[in-house]
Amino acid sequence: GEDVEQSLFLSVREGDSSVINCTYTDSSSTYLYWYKQEPGAGLQLLTYIFSNMDMKQDQRLTVLLNKKDKHLSLRIADTQTGDSAIYFCAEKTGGTSYGKLTFGQGTILTVHP
Amino acid sequence: DAGVIQSPRHEVTEMGQEVTLRCKPISGHDYLFWYRQTMMRGLELLIYFNNNVPIDDSGMPEDRFSAKMPNASFSTLKIQPSEPRDSAVYFCASSYVRGLYTGELFFGEGSRLTVL
């Protein structure tokens, strides 16, 4: 089955790095995603990684994928107060259910000045 | 493009009343999704459509919930009768099967429903 788990809270100081972790259960996942939700808004795609990749870097964001352990992480370098939001990990599995993403519970990131 | 448009943004109603939430997907998108977000259960997929046809409605909680997509530019999610436990933020999202085929979802801003 499909299940995605994340820790619920993370608090960091401005300028530090943030690392948000996620585990998933479906080994047939084709894509894994990180979405960001700011207060009062919908989810917005931050970045994604294809399952045959180990790492992807995009400016301040680094995604690491460990397929053996089914572990995904998002590192935000030089975290700013504007990065305070809820971050969702999601997986898309293959097969006939195209487009069906399974989301984690979300990690609330709080950045202190 | 204006993005995914949802209405109303906020709805407060009394138990037993009918609630209709509306969504206009991004033009040209083939897929439309309805999600529900609560503190207790996180983000749950209720139903999704492909080319206006419902593909998977296994997440619809009860018969009180129904969704329609009469054309490519409009969808509704209806709750009748509503109950306090239906209070949540309901998100509509759309996507497309072209290009890089990543399955990225584009979310609306959500409809916050409060049932008293």
Q: In chain A, what residues touch B107 (CB-CB under 8 Å)?
A: 42-44
CA distance A45 to chain B (A): 7
Distance from CA of B80 to the nearest CA of A (A): 25
Residues A48, A62: Cα–Cα separation, whole Å:
10
Report pLDDT for B112.
97
Residues in chain B with CB shorter than 8 Å from the CB of A2 are: none
pLDDT digit string (tens) for A78-102? Answer: 999 999 999 999 988 655 455 678 8
Q: Which chain B residue shows the shortest CA-CA distance from A43?
A: B107
Could you tell me where the DSSP H helices lie in chain B?
none
Query: Who wins on pLDDT, A26 or A59?
Result: A59
Residue A2 scores a pLDDT above 70:
no
* Residues of chain B found within 8 Å of residue A45, distances taken between Cβ atoms: 104-105
- Please state, in angstroms and rounded to a whole number, the distance separating the CA atoms of residues A31 and A51: 6
How much is the pLDDT for B98? 64
User: What are the C-alpha distances in Å from A34 to residues A69, B1, B10, B63, B83?
Assistant: 18, 23, 27, 32, 32
B70 within 8 A of B20, measured Cβ to Cβ:
no
Measured distance CA(B3)–CA(B26) in Å, rounded:
5
Tens-place pLDDT, residues A8-56: 999 999 999 999 999 998 877 788 999 999 988 899 999 999 888 999 9
Q: Rg of chain B's alpha carbons, rounded to an integer? A: 14
